[in-house]
Amino acid sequence: MNSFTRIMTATALATTVLAGSAASATEITFYYPIAVGGPITKIVDGYAVEFAKAHPDITVKPVYTGSYQDSVVKAMTAAKAGNAPDAAVLLSTDMFTLIDNDLIEPYDAIATSEGDKTWIKSFYPALMENSQAGGHTWGIPFQRSTIVQYWNKEAFKAAGLDPDKAPRTWDEMVAFGKKLTKRDASGHVSQWGVEIPSSGFPYWLFQALTTQSGAILANQDGTKVAYNDPKVVEAAQFFADLGQKYEVMPKGIIDWGTTPKDFFEGKTAIMWTTTGNLTNVRKNAKFAFGVAALPSKQRGGSPTGGGNIYIFKTKDKVKQAAALEFGRFLTTPERAADWGIATGYVATRPDAWQTEAMKKYAAEFPPAVVARDQLKDAVAELSTHDNQRVTKVLNDALQAILTSAKPAKPALDQAQAEATRILHAYQH
């Protein structure tokens, strides 16, 4: 026997052994991104270990895949190479992209038992808006958030405002902002009234303004947008006016990443950001701060945001069932509460707020409840077919408006025309 044959025999033997051990347990791959601070990897690994204890026949392999953007790239390229993850947490707005690429399985096709059906119905309806399309449920809410306002109580007191009252309307926000903006003789501003970030994905924060002015940006099936609705134009004008006319917000583009830092440094008295930053602010703000629902115009409200659990298509029904089981495990009331407390995300179902752990947390730290209470006014995050392209059109228009490159109306008319052209292929 020469060395080549020996190696071949050994390999064949090893393969048989490995295949044998794999057959005894179903192994599923679970991709997840990290978008907030904290020891997320440790928490997710812990869930996988707990799951293994309850289901000895299933092994979950959690794979940290970077940011949301990295994660969808990794999941889609892996799927195109025939090696899709079995389950993944991806942006709720990636739904149409995943459907159009025929990559995900609707839950209603695989979760058919009575228990499964009640499970699908157990989440906040506002969170399900981004999870359902065409009569199917494609995603289950996992790490979801809304936008809230954080305010610096000491700055409010110094400006002669009631430190316990955040602005409740747009007019109040401007009026408070004028009192809070501190200018020296040369016009240099040491403290701004408010910051609404506009880098990267301005559409999300802008969607809070359009919701408040009474507009809905896209239809449920993701085939139409309303970028140049008069109410949307009004919201865009107000967004720009905060900096350019009322001068209570820095002009130009405000960076999403440094907004919390601006808040900690006292550079802004109010900031709009995700509830996912709650733990971050709690740790780093050296002053008393408050958290409140966003101010209203025609109505209050915010878009939801964050990630859903998707089950990928596969021919292996055993794996798919295992992935579903893991999805159910991650979203029990107890775990939804635990995840919410550990990260700052909104616990995704009403009964999670009835658990002992959550009741205790909410009593200790009342701001945690704000995001939940805002859910009743929340709308679906902007999501359409060819989502990233359609939202980029709006992002570009907003940045042009905010940097005074274009007036609101023509910029949004142009964005509407471009988005309609892109979505033309999806009109049935």
The count of residues interacting with other proteins (CB under 8 A) is 34
SS3 349: coil
Give least dist CB 166 to other proteins, A: 24
* Separation CA 401–CA 232 (nearest Å): 13
Q: Considering only CA atoms, which of 174, 184, 177, 185 is closest in space to residue 159? A: 177
Residue 122 or 258: the one with the smaller Cβ distance to other proteins is 258
CB of 300 to other proteins, least distance (A): 29
Shortest CB 146 distance to other proteins, Å: 23
Q: What angle do CA 38, 40, 44 make, to 5 degrees?
A: 155
Contact 279, 51 (CB under 8 A): no
- Would you state the structure tokens that stand for residue 102, as one six-digit string? 């025929």
C-beta atoms surrounding 116 within 10 Å: 15
Answer yes or no whether residue 45 interacts with other proteins by CB under 8 A. Answer: no
Among 100, 116, 221, 351, binds other proteins (CB under 8 A): 100
Judged by beta carbon, residue 73 or residue 288, the one nearer other proteins is 73
Q: Which residue from 89, 166, 352, 400 is in contact with other proteins, where contact means CB under 8 A?
A: 400
CB of 400 to other proteins, least distance (A): 4
Q: Are 257 and 418 in contact (CB under 8 A)?
A: no
Q: Verify binding: residue 102, other proteins, rule CB under 8 A.
A: yes
Q: Going by C-beta distance under 8 Å and a sequence separation of 6 or more, which residues neighbour residue 353?
A: 337, 347, 359, 362, 372
Q: Does 136 bind other proteins (CB under 8 A)?
A: no
Which of 301, 102, 306 lies closest to 210, judged by CA? 301
Q: Report the residue number, 103 or 281, with the smaller CB distance to other proteins.
A: 103
Shortest distance in whole angstroms from residue 401 CB to other proteins = 9
Residues 10, 73, 109, 318: which binds other proteins (CB under 8 A)? Answer: 73
Least Å distance, CB 113 to other proteins, is 28
Cα angle 347, 348, 349; round to 5: 105
Contact map string, positions 241 to 280, toward other proteins, x by CB under 8 A: ---------xxxxxx--x---x--x-x-------------
Residues 172-201 as x/- pattern, contact with other proteins by CB under 8 A: --------------xxx----------xx-
Of residues 34 and 322, the one with the C-beta less far from other proteins: 34
Kindly tell me which of 135 and 160 has the beta carbon lying closer to other proteins. Answer: 135
69 binds other proteins (CB under 8 A): yes
Comparison of 116 and 386: residue with beta carbon closer to other proteins:
386
What burial class does residue 15 get, using C-beta atoms within 10 Å of its C-beta: 0-12 exposed, 13-18 middle, 19+ buried?
exposed
Alpha helices in 130-268 (DSSP H): 153-158, 170-180, 202-212, 230-244, 259-264
CB 126, CB 379: distance < 8 Å: yes
Separation CA 137–CA 310 (nearest Å): 10
Residues in the site for other proteins, rule: CB under 8 A? 69, 73, 76, 97, 100-102, 186-188, 199-200, 250-255, 258, 262, 265, 267, 386, 388-389, 392, 395-397, 399-400, 402-403, 405
